[in-house]
Structure 1
Amino acid sequence: MRSDNNTQIKLDPQRIPQHVAIIMDGNGRWAKKRLLPRIAGHKQGMDNVRTITRAASALGIKVLTLYAFSTENWKRPKDEVSYIMSLPVTFFNNFVPELIEQNVRVMIMGDLTALPESTRSACARAIADTAHCDGMILNFALNYGGRDELRRAVQQLAQEAEDGKRQARDIKDTDIDAALMTAPLGKLADPDLLIRTSGEERISNFLLWQIAYSELVFTDRLWPDFSADDLRSACADYASRDRRFGAVK
């Protein structure tokens, strides 16, 4: 369902989604519309992360997961990938003090071993510097892919079965949950609300297990233009829905 109406938004504090995940799409198109290079869109998009992080924290959202770079994004031009890899360094260097002030903790999931050393170091510092914060979790999916995550989880569980630590037939959903990259989020691992910007209506290999019962909101707004009011609108849309999880009320 699409959501673009952000006028006169009223939110029930009791119906705010606890975990919001966002596929931040449209940076390149934002730049193209302005006759700018694609990297200008990525810079504006990263700047907008600050805006939406503040807004999410103020709304009382407990986890904000942002799809920053997928396992498929390596297929993009090398110069563009190189620039994207530099963005976390700049972002964390500038924004971590504000995150600490807002009591926001940084978490990062994905295969970080493939990232440049400078990017890995910036991520590690941000995680360490905000480890004491117990407010909202700002969770970046960086070099992340849903199928890659599931493959790793299957391999882990299969190895445990091979080692005699568990019986394959006894594997439960909770065992799979515990083997996924979102496991540190505990009961908040599954997003209540998934938002995708830019008008595309695809999941794009994002949190394939975790979004089984997430509410989906698609908006035509390009990510650099996605505002705090747009987030409020998506949350209001979420609050209006009847979540039954396959049951009948």
Structure 2
Amino acid sequence: MFEKFFKTNANQQEEVDLDENKIPTHIAIIMDGNGRWAQKRHLPRVAGHKQGMETVKEITKAASKLGVKVLTLYAFSTENWKRPAAEVNFLMDLPSKFFDTFVPELVENNVKVNVMGYVDQLPPKTRQAVFDAIEDTKECDGMILNFALNYGGQAEIVSAMQAIAEKVKAGALQPEDIDEQTISQHLMTNTLAPYANPELLIRTSGEERISNFLLWQIAYSELVFTDVLWPDYAPANLAEDIYQFQKRNRRFGGLNKEEEK
């Protein structure tokens, strides 16, 4: 049975009526607001990251139950290394703590872990936690939980161009044969095909920018910006954002049949 979700408006609950045939296949989320959530409570920023980890667990299970095929979460960007060392160290320690407690639930929910980004640049303990989670869930064939870890959209495109240039240099590829598919095949999301490109991109916390996330892949994604801080983001918020997606008229640069008349 399709799960019902409710949102609260003016102290009244209103049912979010989702069309189960129009659930986005790939949802990407910029998980923003952990620091502000903590500051509002006079807590250290790391407390927000810790609570945000619990939100990841709840949203992962909710997305899986809704039938989402891929859930991509922006966990750590290539620019986040600029943050204070104590915060970076805490964030690098989170994957091992997260997967230690959550992998059994992921297996129970048939969720497979994937990680994209420059994993080789992560601390050894972080890398090992990532590799272990991928190994432990490799037999799962349900939703893919895809973490963008030490990831940046511009760096990803540069890496793809370098790989393509090497093929051209070796004579294995002609410049005139390079097209959109060629580039897509060299991006880090290639392993997610046929769901490589998000249908819906959500950013929490009220900020309305992309922050170097999936720059190629979101060419035709629907964007939803919510004021909810990530640690407060709940399955009902996800349902509301999917509902906003379902109300959109997606034309991909063309016209729908009604507009053609």
TM-score bucket (shorter structure):
over 0.9
**Following the alignment from structure 1 to structure 2, what is the Cα–Cα distance between the partners of residues 107 and 187?**
15
Secondary structure in structure 1 of the residue aligned to 2:55: helix
Segments of 4+ moved more than 2 angstroms? 3-7
SS of 2:16's equivalent in the other structure is coil
Aligned positions of 1:202-213 closer than 5 A: 202-213=209-220
Query: Of 105, 111, 119, which aligns to 1:104?
Result: 111
For 1:181-218, what per-residue CA distance to the aligned partner results, in whole angstroms no more than 9, with x for missing partners? 00001110000000000000000000000000000000
Q: Which residue of 1 aligns with 2:84?
A: 77
Cα deviation for residue 25 of structure 1 reads 0.2
Match of 1:175 among 166, 169, 182: 182
Aligned match for 1:225, one of 224, 229, 232: 232
Query: Alpha-carbon deviations, 1:155-187, whole Å to 9, x = none?
Result: 000110000000012101111010000000111
Counterpart position of 1:41: 48
Q: Please, which runs of 5 or more residues in structure 2 have no aligned partner?
A: 1-6, 257-261
> Structure 1 counterpart of 2:30, which letter?
I
- Local SS of the residue matching 2:210: coil
8 Å CA contact retained: 2:33, 2:204: yes
Paired position in structure 2 for 1:128: 135
The number of equivalent residue pairs is 247
Partner of 1:164: 171
Please state whether the residue corresponding to 1:113 is helix, strand or coil. helix
How far has the Cα of 1:7 moved from its partner?
3.1
8 Å Cα contact 1:26/1:198 also seen in 2:
yes
Answer yes or no: is the 8 Å Cα contact 2:96–2:129 preserved in 1: yes
Query: Which has the greater radius of gyration?
Result: 2
2:144 pairs with 1:137: yes
Displacement of 1:22: 0.1
- Does the CA-based 8 Å contact 2:112-2:142 persist in structure 1? yes
% identical equivalent positions: 60
Query: Which of 73, 94, 97 is the equivalent residue of 1:90?
Result: 97
CA apart distance, 1:113: 1.1
TM-score where L is the length of structure 1 = 0.97
- Relative to structure 1, is the Cα distance of residues 163 and 4 closer, same or farther in structure 2, using a 3 angstrom cutoff? farther
Give the Å deviation of 1:4.
9.2
Q: 2:195 aligns to what?
A: 188
Structure 1: unaligned runs, 5 residues or longer = none
For residues 193 and 44 of structure 2, the distance between their equivalents in structure 1, rounded to whole angstroms, comes to 40
Aligned partner of residue 14 in structure 2, secondary structure: coil
Correspondent of 1:19 among 19, 26, 29: 26
Partners of 1:4 and 1:62 in 2: CA distance: 28
Contact 1:100 1:133 in 2 (8 A): yes
| TM-score with structure 2 setting the length | 0.93
Structure 1 CA distance for aligned equivalents of residues 67 and 79 of structure 2: 32
